[in-house]
Chain A
Amino acid sequence: MSYLIDIVLIALSAALINNFVLYYFVGICPFIGVSRKVEMAFGMGCAVTFVISIAAIMSWTITTFVLMPGAPLSAWVAGFFVSSESAAKIDLTILSYIVYIFAIASSVQFVEMYVRKFFPLLYKSFGVFLPLITTNCAILFACLKIMSNIVGVDDPADAWDLGRSLTLAVFGGVGFTIAISIMAGIREELELCDIPKPFKGAAITLITGGILAMAFMGFTGVDSGLKKAMTPAPSIEMKAPQNTAQ
């Protein structure tokens, strides 16, 4: 049950509360560049969601088995060269950035080849965006977030499993799709507006994005409220009578 709550909270937080674009500012380049038409924006969003999920699976696997301090696979390999105590302490986190970026680049390549071969229709709708995605910050950002939730926790039992990581990635991608599609819808209308010349294009998009970000700020606190509502019994029983003033 508590696992399910966790998943729901991660999903909600990634998609709406801490939206990748409007809260963390990752993936701003496509947000401004590819948000002219709703169909294009939606295609881009789908492509990002697709790649981000694959990258998340890869980065979770690599981090857990190879990169994190005392990771089983690297400890096993190192065991052939050094004593088993020092092999257990092996820490390859310094390589993580390089590994992630290459994992992303290669997964984009494979996805592109695979989709072009087996799903030509799908390729037609979002294939053109695939090469652009390698340099999309959102993907690397998702990998880094997953890493910080595996390496950066005090209690090894708190480290994220594949399910949580995948939820973060998929709903991060969904959040990106939501943001970019709303933006594209607004921009289609903006075409008909009389915007001062210097503000045409990127500037007005950014200002609109600011207003959107303000709207999304309204979601703050939803997660803490939801958590309280879904947790079956309060963790602390209050001795004093409940204060009705609150």
Chain B
Amino acid sequence: MADQPTSMERFIQGILPENPVYRQLLGLCPTLAVTNGMKAAITMACAVGFVLLCANVMISLIRNLLKPHLRIVIFTLTIATFVTIADRFLAAYMYEMSKTLGPYIPLIIVNCIIICRCEVCASKQPVITAASDALGQSIGYGLALSSVAAVREILGTGMFFEIRVLPTAWPDWVIMVLPPGAFLTFGLLLGWVNWMTSRYAAKKQVKGSL
């Protein structure tokens, strides 16, 4: 257990090196579904962050009482409860947004990121570590969602956060805000991230050998 990362390292790792979307390919449904506008993407990322943080802290608090065969049941129960709370909160204070996101808020329950973090980190680590891990992962998730959403919203509607950024002469690429645009944008971004990572790794290797 000597090389266990500290809470700070876990926080940083979640953002880029172990980004839940680009590196681990987790939680892809919302990454594709709610990224046709920045506002929806940010709201979704906040909801996932809230659930992830609460679930991680909760699981970490009761980690010594967990029995192996009842572990998953408890995870699911916790996550489903916090998702319901997040859903009701959105419906009460951001009604328009909750209608836009529709079924994708309850679908957080089956989002692999949360159950994966509970299993890998929260059920073994103290509260502070679990919380910082959750924060790092949620920031990484938010970054990934907003990167896809930014590309799609700017190219698809010429707007960013619903404010016009491209000249009106820009012919809106409607396909970008439609379902195929999600697949194409995310596929290209994923390839680009892979390429950058491999280049970065190659550079590091060259430096190390010198």
Contact = CB atoms under 8 A, between A and B. Distances in A.
Query: Taking the complex as a whole, does A directly touch B, i.e. does some CB pair lie under 8 Å apart?
Result: yes
Interface of A: 22-29, 32, 94-95, 97-98, 101-102, 105, 134-137, 140-141, 144-145, 148, 196-199, 202-207, 209-211, 213-214, 217
Interface residues of B, number: 38
A209 B183 contact: yes
B76 A105 contact: yes
B180 A32 contact: no
Contacts of B175: 214
Given A105-B76, A203-B194, A207-B188, A26 B29 contact: yes
B194 A135 contact: no
A97 B179 contact: no
Interface string B28-39: 110011000000
Contacts of B115: 135
B20 to A, nearest CB: 13
Interface of B: 25, 28-29, 32-33, 76-77, 80-81, 83-84, 87-88, 103, 106-107, 109-112, 115, 175, 178-184, 186-188, 190-192, 194-195, 198
Contact of A98 (B77, B107, B191): B77
Contacts of B33: 24-26
Which 3 interchain pairs have the tightest Cβ spacing?
A: A210-B183, A206-B187, A198-B194
Contact of B109 (A101, A196, A217): A101
Per DSSP, chain B at the interface is: helix
Contact of A25 (B29, B112, B192): B29
B187 A203 contact: yes
Given A213-B179, A214-B180, A140 B109 contact: yes
A136 B32 contact: no
A235 B86 CA distance: 43
Nearest to B182: A25
Nearest to A139: B110
B185 to A, nearest CB: 8
A82 B57 CA distance: 37
Contact of A197 (B28, B88, B182, B198): B198
A105 B187 CA distance: 31
A134 B107 CA distance: 12
Contacts of B188: 203, 207
Nearest to A104: B110
B76 A217 contact: no
21 contacts: A25-B182, A26-B29, A26-B33, A32-B28, A134-B110, A137-B107, A141-B103, A141-B107, A197-B195, A198-B195, A202-B187, A202-B190, A203-B190, A204-B191, A206-B186, A206-B187, A210-B180, A210-B182, A213-B180, A214-B175, A217-B178
A105 to B, nearest CB: 7
Contacts of A214: 175, 180
Contacts of B184: 206-207, 210
Question: Which of B88, B179, B184, B195 counts the most A-chain CB atoms under 10 A from its CB?
Answer: B179
Contacts of A198: 191-192, 194-195, 198
